[in-house]
Amino acid sequence: MQIVIKIGGSVLEHLHSAFFQECLQLKEKGLTPVIVHGGGPVISQWMDQLGFQPQFVDGLRVTDEQTLTIVEMVLAGSVNKHLVTKFRQAGAKAIGMTGIDLGLIQVEPLNHSLGFVGRVTHVNKEVIQLILDQGWIPVIASLGVDHEGQHYNVNADDVASAIADALKAKKLISVSNVDGIQINDQPLKQATADEIEAYIRTGEITGGMIPKVRSGLRSLTGSVQEVVIVNGQQPGCLTDDSHGTRLIKGEVKSHVFISHL
């Protein structure tokens, strides 16, 4: 059984030292990890160093040709190989790739005003399955390609969601630098789609958490039974069920908050 783990750019350089071993523990339990990563903060750092001003619309990076070149350089090069190295140091057989390779992530333009930002239209799941059949862990950078061969920057949450659906994975873990969803300064243990949308309407869920949870909710319309948002800076974030916030199908009668005690 596959489990998709999306590593957010905000936590890439701050993952707990046990994180990669925990991925191996999941594999030993029969939950084969498929890793998807972004790298937004690192991309912005490189843009600043190269004299470019990052621009965003609704949390998505406006991506012209020059920005796309930087995005590819950072995601396919620096970030992807950093993660592969960490997995290898933990004793895992990991292979780095992007959604461009072998047409893995096929896309179309999301919105022409955003430039080369893509919407996932198809996942070539056979490519991933070939890697999994070798006992390897795929580490996938969130880039995509259209039918004409044009490359695109793609939101990593959307790539993870699409891959989870294509593989019929039962669980998707979104690894960030926050302790799940916070409501009234308390971490929420679990919630349904209707409850999440209500929190958004009342302003209790805001900012960058909105696209993250909505991407997770879209996953729940397919084979995925639960999406978990966890803090990758904490040990046990992948193996201890008490961590983070679970987005689930069905009705939750009452909210249970994780105690600070």
- Domain range list for the chain: 2-248
pLDDT at 22: 97
Q: Across residues 20-27, what is the average pLDDT?
A: 96
Q: Is the pLDDT of residue 159 over 50?
A: yes
To the question of whether residue 218 is assigned a binding role by annotation, the answer is no
Q: Is the pLDDT of residue 123 over 80?
A: yes
What amino acid is encoded at 57 in this protein?
Answer: V
To the question of whether residue 80 is assigned a binding role by annotation, the answer is no
And the tokens for 225? 């039974």
Contact 247, 220 (CB under 8 A): yes
Q: What is the CATH number of domain 2-248?
A: 3.40.1160.10
Q: Across residues 175-182, what is the average pLDDT?
A: 89
Residue of higher predicted confidence among 187 and 77: 77
pLDDT at 220: 85
pLDDT at 257: 43
Among the listed ranges 22-31, 185-194, 232-241, which one has the minimum average pLDDT value? 185-194
To the question of whether residue 61 is assigned a binding role by annotation, the answer is yes
Q: Across residues 219-227, what is the average pLDDT?
A: 84
Q: Is the pLDDT of residue 256 over 50?
A: no
pLDDT at 182: 86
Within 10 A of 36 (CB to CB), how many other CB atoms are there? 28
To the question of whether residue 155 is assigned a binding role by annotation, the answer is no
Q: Across residues 243-251, what is the average pLDDT?
A: 85
pLDDT at 251: 61
Q: Across residues 192-200, what is the average pLDDT?
A: 91
How many residues would you count in the chain? Answer: 261
Q: Is the pLDDT of residue 74 over 90?
A: yes
Contact 159, 105 (CB under 8 A): yes
What DSSP element (H or E) covers 171? strand 171-176
